[in-house]
Structure 1
Amino acid sequence: MSDTGARLPKYHRIADALRNQIRNGDLQPGDKLPAETAIASTHATSVPTVRQAMSVLRAEGLVESRHGIGTFVRDSHRRQRRSRNRYGEARGRDGLLNNTFRHEITFAGTEPVPAHVADCLNVEQGTPVVVRRRRLYDENEHLAEMGASYLPTDYAKGTYLEEPTVVPKALFRCVEDLTGRTYTHARDQVTARRATESEADAFGLPLGAFVLYLIHTATDENDRVLEVSESIWPADTVMVVDDYPIPAKPTATAGSDL
């Protein structure tokens, strides 16, 4: 062991050892880790120290704890979100935009719009909008995504969009039917941030874990906003993919890009 490793806190060294077992394939996705008492005995330490090590691995998304059962190696597969293809694919089929998940509408009704969404909707903070909050669950009934859609009241208020039920087809197609307008342009802004306490609790994440936060603004051919939506995922479960053509000639750019 290097001098640097020897100076690390004991729980970090335990986390390093378990992490190496996972990366080397000695512990496979779905494998149950030894009991905390067994790990403590192996490393000549205490159970609280082992629990600190487990917290590190959970924060990295390598393991997950199942209440009353134990701690297991997580599947490292990340779901891919390909924004540019989503609408086109949904126009050619029935069902929801995210049709591989079970949808639950946790709230539908009118609320004052928060500041960060008001900017995208081009309205003042506190303006009433129709809000639809959702949770998406994967095939194992694990919470995969939390989110909400914010819709102008001029077309959404008093409609079935205020009912806390799953809509019969992709929400954007419902909006197009109600307004007679067409979604023609979308803007996605993705940031990484630490999960709030309520988000960490909902996803089963340790405090301090990161989430990906996306805010999506969709407009019609006249640049009028039809919908603003937000999505939140544990950062270790999703990969945002953008495939695009590279221009052969110079193009104008706005702002500062990486």
Structure 2
Amino acid sequence: MTSGLGARAPKYQRIADELRREISERVYAPGSRMPAETDLTARFHVSLPTIRQALGVLRAEGLIESRHGIGTFVRENRKLQRRSRHRYGRARSDKQLLTSHLAHEILSAGPEETPQHIADVVADAPAFVVRRRLLRDKDTGRPEEIGASYVPAEFAAGTYLEEATVVPKALFLCVEELSGKTYAFARDRWDVRMPNHHEADLLDLAPGAAVVHLIHTALAEDSTLLEVSESIWPADRIQILDEYEITPDSDTGPRASEV
């Protein structure tokens, strides 16, 4: 076995490194079946628990998946891409949902107490109408995203946004109609963390798999809060792409970048 971690790394980690390399070099192509656990124990001269630990690492990274009663397979490397700066313009043009390529399910809709992690990013948070969602791949049914939109009750209370049904167009267009204001400024906060039990269950995550958590705050030109939206994706299934001009001017923002 070869490993960038060297001989001091645990056996299961070195085996995971070797299998990861073979997957990247397409010794095991996307969609193909991995060798049986007993074959891997013979190949690497280790015990079955060690092989299962190694496969657990690859499973948590999203490289392989187990199909009950069939075996372990290399997953298709198909990641969702988020281009934050272009989402609103596209939705204004085609009048579709921001994530129209996924199947939407509204899990609940109505007034809720503001959770602490939302209150932490919104000063003097108002009462909200909260719409919780689950998004799935239209072809496979696999859960791809969970999230929630927090719309100030002054705009959403007593409206169709309290109904647990999918709206016919992007939610921000609905909020603009109800509020009479236009989305003008957005702030995104990204975190990579371990999921809680509820998130892992909804996203059908393997043990040890991380998630990417976005909290998106949208304001009107007069700084009125229009929406707080949060999205949670399996970390191995999301790519964050950003395109922007680089100006020669000094950074005069309120906080300098730390990375």
Partner of 2:171: 171
Q: Please state whether the residue corresponding to 1:103 is helix, strand or coil.
A: strand
- Comparing 220-229 with 41-50, greater Cα deviation is found at 41-50
Partner of 1:231: 231
**For each residue in 1:12-49, what CA deviation from the matched residue of structure 2 results, as whole angstroms up to 9, or x when unmatched?**
23222211210211111111112222222333333322
**Whole-angstrom distance in 1 between the partners of 2:18 and 2:120:** 47
Q: Please state whether the residue corresponding to 1:86 is helix, strand or coil.
A: helix
Q: Which runs of 5+ in 1 are unaligned?
A: none
Partner of 2:88: 87
* Residue 178 of structure 1: how far off its partner (Å): 1.1
**For each residue in 1:115-138, what CA deviation from the matched residue of structure 2 results, as whole angstroms up to 9, or x when unmatched?**
2212444335xx641110111111
What does 1:207-226 align with in structure 2 at a 5 Å threshold? 207-226=207-226
Q: Structure 2 length normalisation: TM-score?
A: 0.91
**Whole-angstrom distance in 2 between the partners of 1:188 and 1:7:** 40
* Residue 51 of structure 1: how far off its partner (Å): 1.3
**Whole-angstrom distance in 1 between the partners of 2:246 and 2:7:** 49
**Whole-angstrom distance in 2 between the partners of 1:7 and 1:120:** 43
**Whole-angstrom distance in 2 between the partners of 1:94 and 1:51:** 48
Q: Please state whether the residue corresponding to 1:92 is helix, strand or coil.
A: helix
Kept after mapping to 2: 8 A contact 1:197/1:207: no
* Residue 8 of structure 1: how far off its partner (Å): 3.4
**Whole-angstrom distance in 1 between the partners of 2:59 and 2:196:** 16
Q: Structure 1 length normalisation: TM-score?
A: 0.91
**Whole-angstrom distance in 2 between the partners of 1:2 and 1:173:** 54
**Whole-angstrom distance in 2 between the partners of 1:68 and 1:224:** 54
* Residue 68 of structure 1: how far off its partner (Å): 2.9
Q: Please state whether the residue corresponding to 1:236 is helix, strand or coil.
A: helix
Partner of 1:186: 186
Aligned partner of 1:152: which letter? P
* Residue 6 of structure 1: how far off its partner (Å): 4.1
**Whole-angstrom distance in 2 between the partners of 1:85 and 1:229:** 17
Kept after mapping to 2: 8 A contact 1:217/1:228: yes
Aligned partner of 1:149: which letter? S
Q: Does 1:104 align with 2:105?
A: yes
* Residue 5 of structure 1: how far off its partner (Å): 4.3
Q: Please state whether the residue corresponding to 2:198 is helix, strand or coil.
A: helix
**For each residue in 1:163-220, what CA deviation from the matched residue of structure 2 results, as whole angstroms up to 9, or x when unmatched?**
1110111000111111111111111111111222322233232333221111000111
Partner of 2:41: 40
**For each residue in 1:57-115, what CA deviation from the matched residue of structure 2 results, as whole angstroms up to 9, or x when unmatched?**
11222112223332211222322211000000000013211110000111111110012
- Comparing 186-195 with 39-48, greater Cα deviation is found at 39-48
Q: Taking every aligned residue pair, what percent have the same amino acid on both sides?
A: 52
Q: How many residues align?
A: 256
Please give the root-mean-square deviation of Cα atoms over the aligned residues, in Å.
Answer: 2.0
